[in-house]
Amino acid sequence: MSEIVAGWPILSILTFLPAAGAVLILLSRMSARGLNPGYDNGVKLLTLFFTIATFVVSLFAFAAFDPANPAFQLTENIPWAFGASYAMGVDTLAMSLVMLTTFLTPLCILASWVIEKQVSSYMVLFLLLETLMIGVFCAQDIILFYIFFEGGLIPMFILIGVWGGERRVYAAFKFFLYTLLGSLLMLVAIVAMVSMARAAGIENPFSIPALTEFAQSGGFSPDIQIWLWLAFFASFAVKMPMWPVHTWLPDAHVEAPTAASVVLAAILLKMGGYGFLRFSLPMFPDASHFFTPFVFALSVIAIVWASLVAFRQLDMKKLIAYSSVAHMGFVTMGIFSGNEQGIQGAIFQMLSHGIISGALFLCVGVVYDRMHTREIAFYGGLVNRMPVYAAIFLLFTMGNVGLPGTSGFPGEILTMVGAFQVNAWVAAGAALGVILSAAYALTLYRKVAFGVIENPNLDGITDLDTREWVMFVPLVVATLVMGLAPGYVLDFTQNSAEAISAAFLGARP
């Protein structure tokens, strides 16, 4: 299959195919003027087609990709102004996150079938969002990365701000404030890095691989690394989100429409982890060592704090959002343990969390679409009317709890194994999260699914329909396959993990 795509700019096709769909929808809107009653449905179908096509293209890219090769592959490079260039390329880390994105987006479109307000704008934004998300992982030029990284937030703001719930303005504004702060600092750091690299005579100072090479040959002195690390950290920590800059996430989730929540939890949060792995560890290894205790502390606090707060939530989405914060604590802990188990575990946890938290938000969406409330107390006894839904919800709840056999387990255990080798107390603190997650997740499940139906509004609630079945089946399969045979994923990402780990451990003082 790799022969088929040889010579094609496959990553550009992959990245801009959704955008092409968006353009097509805009053109059709101009000509149809939105009068045709079947128009909205047509837009949904078209969007679904484009997202599935993108997934198919990503499969081709996957086939053309050689996981045994540690270098960036499928590269493209078109120079433009002042030494920057349009450079694309992926390694196994980026490729795995691209696959996650293209796999989840069609399911999000299926979940968005219930959208009735300004359908074509919604779909255009969603397609643009997909382009920007894929772009983040494919970009090899630091300016290009920055554009995709920050640009992706604009469609998300609008999705929350227009299609969101009652307090959408507050939520979007909070999101905006945090992200703005982080991104400005990161921009300053990028400028500094590029100018230093240029001053040192690096030929293409905007190229991420060139910068990495420059950094690893001692280009940034440990003192400078500290400042650069902090600036990048400001941006990535907000994205993760890490404690104490996590409070935007529950609000954003609560107000966001279902599909936006899925994307937010499943993919946008992963940009923080991706950033740490792509920039912080390989480019500023000395600073990363210096800050490891700091990140460990924040990670453990995030795990324990967010789990306890999740335990007290009254809103289903808020509970899952807090549980995301806790799960991301495992990711940061794994990344900064720096050994192969920790980094592999962190990557796996990111992918698994993408699937499980995405699925959990879809589960909330299913009952929200029927009852228009996310209040936990409203529900109860759903298993009586919705046995299939209850079974699927249970599977993902168990995944969230990190049960072995689901994809939630390998990431958690590997990150803890990684951390234990560095500091046993950190692993012990994180392991508290294993207890607490069982408490809040099973309590949520008990309140929503078990018991008798006491609320008369729920008497007529119906089980999953065909669309919802189609939406959940791929997620169920992915959860179980990644849980029982995680080796497929771990072997794939091994290259990147080894390289990052080597870069980090090589700088150990």
Partner 1 sequence: MQFSAEVLIVLAPLFAAAIAGLFQRYLGDKVAMGLTTASVGLSLVLSWPIFIDFVWGDGQARVTELFSFIDVAGFTSTWSVRIDTMSAIMLVVVNTVSFLVHVYSIGYMAEDPHRARFFSYLSFFTFAMLALVTANDFLQLFFGWEGVGVASYLLIGFWFQKRSANDAAIKAFVVNRIGDFGFALGIMACFTFLGTIKFFPTAAGDLALFAGSVNGVEVAGQIERLAHQALVLGDVVLPAAEVTAFLLFIGAMGKSAQFFLHVWLPDAMEGPTPVSALIHAATMVTAGVFMVCRLGELYHIAPLASGFVTIVGATTALFAATVGLAQNDIKRVVAYSTCSQLGYMFFAAGVGAYNAAMFHLFTHAFFKALLFLGAGSVIHGLHHEQDMRYMGGVRKPMPITWAMMTIGTFALIGFGIPGIGAVFGLPGLGFAGFYSKDAIIEAAYGSHGIGAQFAFWCGVGAALLTSFYSWRLAFMTFEGKFRPNPHAHHDDHAAGAHADHGHDDHHHDGHAKPADGSAPAHESPWIMLAPLIVLAIGAVLAGAVFYPYFLGHHAGEFWDHVIPFHEGHHDFPTWVLWAPLIVTVTGFLLAIVFYLWKPGASKAMAKGPVWAFLYNKWYFDELYNFVFVKGARALGDLFWKWGDQKTIDGLGPDGVAASSRFFSRNLRKVQTGFVYHYSFVMLIAAVAFGAYAILAGIGGGQ
From the list 333, 318, 331, 498, the residue with the least C-alpha distance to 424 is: 333
Identify residues 9-28 at the interface with partner 1 (CB under 8 A). Answer: none
Using CB under 8 A as the binding rule, whether residue 222 contacts partner 1 is answered as no
Q: Which of 421, 474, 502, 505 touches partner 1 by CB under 8 A?
A: 421
Q: Which of 34, 42, 67, 161 touches partner 1 by CB under 8 A?
A: 161
- Residue for token digits 């433009």? 80
Sequence-ordered list of residues with C-beta below 8 angstroms from that of 400, at least 6 positions apart, any chain = 320, 323, 327, 356, 357, 360, 408, 437, 441
DSSP-based three-state secondary structure for 89: strand
Q: Which of 82, 117, 221, 293 touches partner 1 by CB under 8 A?
A: 82
DSSP-based three-state secondary structure for 489: helix
Q: Which is nearer to partner 1, 34 or 151 (CB)?
A: 151
Angle at 123 between CA 122 and CA 128, to 5 degrees: 100
Taking each helix axis as running N to C, give the angle between helix 168-199 and helix 222-239, from 0 to 180 degrees, rounded to the nearest 10.
Answer: 160
Q: In sequence order, what are the beta bridge partners of 352?
A: none
Q: Which is nearer to partner 1, 263 or 395 (CB)?
A: 395
Identify residues 374-393 at the interface with partner 1 (CB under 8 A). Answer: 381, 383-384
Q: Which is nearer to partner 1, 345 or 365 (CB)?
A: 345
Q: Which is nearer to partner 1, 52 or 181 (CB)?
A: 181
CB 425 within 8 A of CB 433: no
By CB atoms closer than 10 A (0-12, 13-18, 19+), residue 203 is exposed
CB 50 within 8 A of CB 18: yes
Q: Which of 139, 281, 392, 398 touches partner 1 by CB under 8 A?
A: 398
The whole-angstrom separation of Cα 227 and Cα 222 is: 9
Span from 217-225, 274-282, 288-296, 412-420 in contact with partner 1 (CB under 8 A): 412-420
Using CB under 8 A as the binding rule, whether residue 120 contacts partner 1 is answered as no
Smallest distance, partner 1 to C-beta of residue 149, A = 11
Q: Which of 62, 157, 279, 291 touches partner 1 by CB under 8 A?
A: 157
The whole-angstrom separation of Cα 351 and Cα 100 is: 7
Using CB under 8 A as the binding rule, whether residue 68 contacts partner 1 is answered as no
Q: Which of 147, 297, 476, 502 touches partner 1 by CB under 8 A?
A: 147
How far, rounded to the nearest angstrom, does the alpha carbon of residue 11 sit from its chain's CA centroid?
A: 19
Query: Token pair of 14, please?
Result: 């992959």
From the list 131, 130, 112, the residue with the least C-alpha distance to 122 is: 112
Identify residues 292-311 at the interface with partner 1 (CB under 8 A). Answer: 305, 308-311
- Residue for token digits 């497929």? 488
Is there a cis peptide before residue 241, judged by omega within 30 degrees of 0? Answer: yes
- Site size for partner 1, by CB under 8 A? 87
Span from 91-99, 174-182, 266-274, 368-376 in contact with partner 1 (CB under 8 A): 174-182
Backbone angles phi, psi at 406, to 5 degrees: -105, 165
CB 240 within 8 A of CB 139: no
Using CB under 8 A as the binding rule, whether residue 256 contacts partner 1 is answered as no
Using CB under 8 A as the binding rule, whether residue 148 contacts partner 1 is answered as no
Span from 48-56, 328-336, 439-447, 470-478 in contact with partner 1 (CB under 8 A): 439-447
Q: Which is nearer to partner 1, 25 or 306 (CB)?
A: 306
Query: Token pair of 451, please?
Result: 């018991």
The whole-angstrom separation of Cα 447 and Cα 504 is: 45
Residue type, 354: G
Span from 48-56, 166-174, 264-272, 355-363 in contact with partner 1 (CB under 8 A): 166-174
Smallest distance, partner 1 to C-beta of residue 74, A = 26
Identify residues 465-504 at the interface with partner 1 (CB under 8 A). Answer: 484-487, 490-491, 494
Using CB under 8 A as the binding rule, whether residue 416 contacts partner 1 is answered as yes
Using CB under 8 A as the binding rule, whether residue 443 contacts partner 1 is answered as yes
Smallest distance, partner 1 to C-beta of residue 56, A = 28
Q: Which is nearer to partner 1, 280 or 341 (CB)?
A: 341
Identify residues 86-115 at the interface with partner 1 (CB under 8 A). Answer: none
Per-residue DSSP letter, 91:
-
Using CB under 8 A as the binding rule, whether residue 61 contacts partner 1 is answered as no
Q: Which helix (H) or strand (E) holds 487?
A: helix 487-506
Q: Which is nearer to partner 1, 76 or 463 (CB)?
A: 463
Q: Which of 79, 218, 244, 506 touches partner 1 by CB under 8 A?
A: 244
Q: How many CB atoms lie within 10 A of CB 485?
A: 11
Using CB under 8 A as the binding rule, whether residue 439 contacts partner 1 is answered as yes
Backbone angles phi, psi at 96, to 5 degrees: -65, -35
- Interface characters, 178-217, with partner 1 (x: CB under 8 A): x-x--xx--x--xx--xx--xx------------------
Q: Which is nearer to partner 1, 272 or 411 (CB)?
A: 411
Q: Which of 233, 236, 368, 420 touches partner 1 by CB under 8 A?
A: 420
